[in-house]
Amino acid sequence: MSVTNLLENWAEFRHTHPVDDVPHDPYKWAMSIDMDTCTGCNACSVACYAENNLPVVGKDRYEHGQAMHWMRIERYWPEDGREFPDQGAQFLPMMCQQCEAAPCETVCPVGATNHTADGLNSQAYNRCIGSRYCSANCPFKVRYFNWYDYPTTENVWPAEMTMQLNPDITLRGKGVMEKCTFCVQRIRAGERSVKNEGRILRDGEVQTACQQVCPTNAITFGNLVDPDSRVHQQWKAQRVELTVDEQEKDKEEGGSDLRGYRILEELRPYPSVMYLERVRESAI
């Protein structure tokens, strides 16, 4: 970075850093989640714990709200006059939305969270000083802070349990912020393996852990700029655009047949996750 960068468009510079990167070429990673098929089974959350070396913090810490679930299943209870068990919960899987104009990125004093050219919101653990401004400004509150030193003093993975840790991922010590990465280690490994073949990743070659385990295929992940990818087709079918803050669905008068929407779009973070609205009755 230099003064020239500062005087020119700094936001542009952030987006394409390092210098030769071109945004969204050839990848823009995105997701779509079908709330109709989601059963709230939490398998995605468990898979995320296993894949990303998330510490299981224990009951006490969980009660204190210090859980580290990058992928969380939220429950909503519609106010329709019914009570459980007559009424079932509605589930919403929530993880980092990898916003294109991420509110967390601009506020980090040290630039520990940045945008990659393939549309991920990256987090550099080594650079993080733990000011927690990113979490304070995150509209979705999907950032999780290491309140304790889980790998060492908290002894989350005693003795042999370290054998089940994912070697592709670092363990995070106390005082750094972390969040869903769209399983960036899998993306990078996939990119490297196809580089030898001189091509780019095809749809389905990289799956996120949550997508892989979802028993009902509610989660679709892929390259949004690849017209053959399932995620691209879903976004297109729902006429959801990445770069607008109001979708066709909201513009249609008197309700719409379209189901695709993005959460808190009006704040203009331009999330990379599209949700498909629930249309069936609650599970019970």
Can you tell me which of 12, 74, 86, 228 binds other proteins, judged by CB under 8 A?
74
Encoded amino acid at 136, one letter: A
* Omega of the bond leading into 227 within 30 degrees of 0 (cis): no
CB 86 within 8 A of CB 284: yes
Closest-CA residue to 243 (of 34, 24, 20, 26):
24
- Minimum distance, C-beta of residue 226 to other proteins, in the bound complex (Å): 31
Of 159-198, binders to other proteins (CB under 8 A) are 174-177
Nearer to other proteins, 172 or 232 (CB): 172
Nearer to other proteins, 89 or 225 (CB): 89
Counted residue by residue, the chain has a size of: 284
Phi/psi for 34 (5° steps) reads -95, 110
Q: Is 132 in the site for other proteins (CB under 8 A)?
A: yes
Please report where in the chains the tokens 């030898």 appear, as a residue: 196
Q: Is 109 in the site for other proteins (CB under 8 A)?
A: yes
Q: Is 278 in the site for other proteins (CB under 8 A)?
A: no
Nearer to other proteins, 6 or 237 (CB): 6
The answer for 187, left when phi > 0, alpha when psi is -120 to 50, beta otherwise, is alpha
- Minimum distance, C-beta of residue 94 to other proteins, in the bound complex (Å): 7
What is the Cβ-side half-sphere exposure of residue 108, based on CA atoms within 13 angstroms?
26
Nearer to other proteins, 2 or 196 (CB): 2
Query: For binding to other proteins (CB under 8 A), which residues are involved?
Result: 1, 6, 10-11, 14, 61, 64-67, 72, 74, 76, 94, 103, 106-111, 127-133, 135-141, 143-149, 153, 174-177, 264, 267
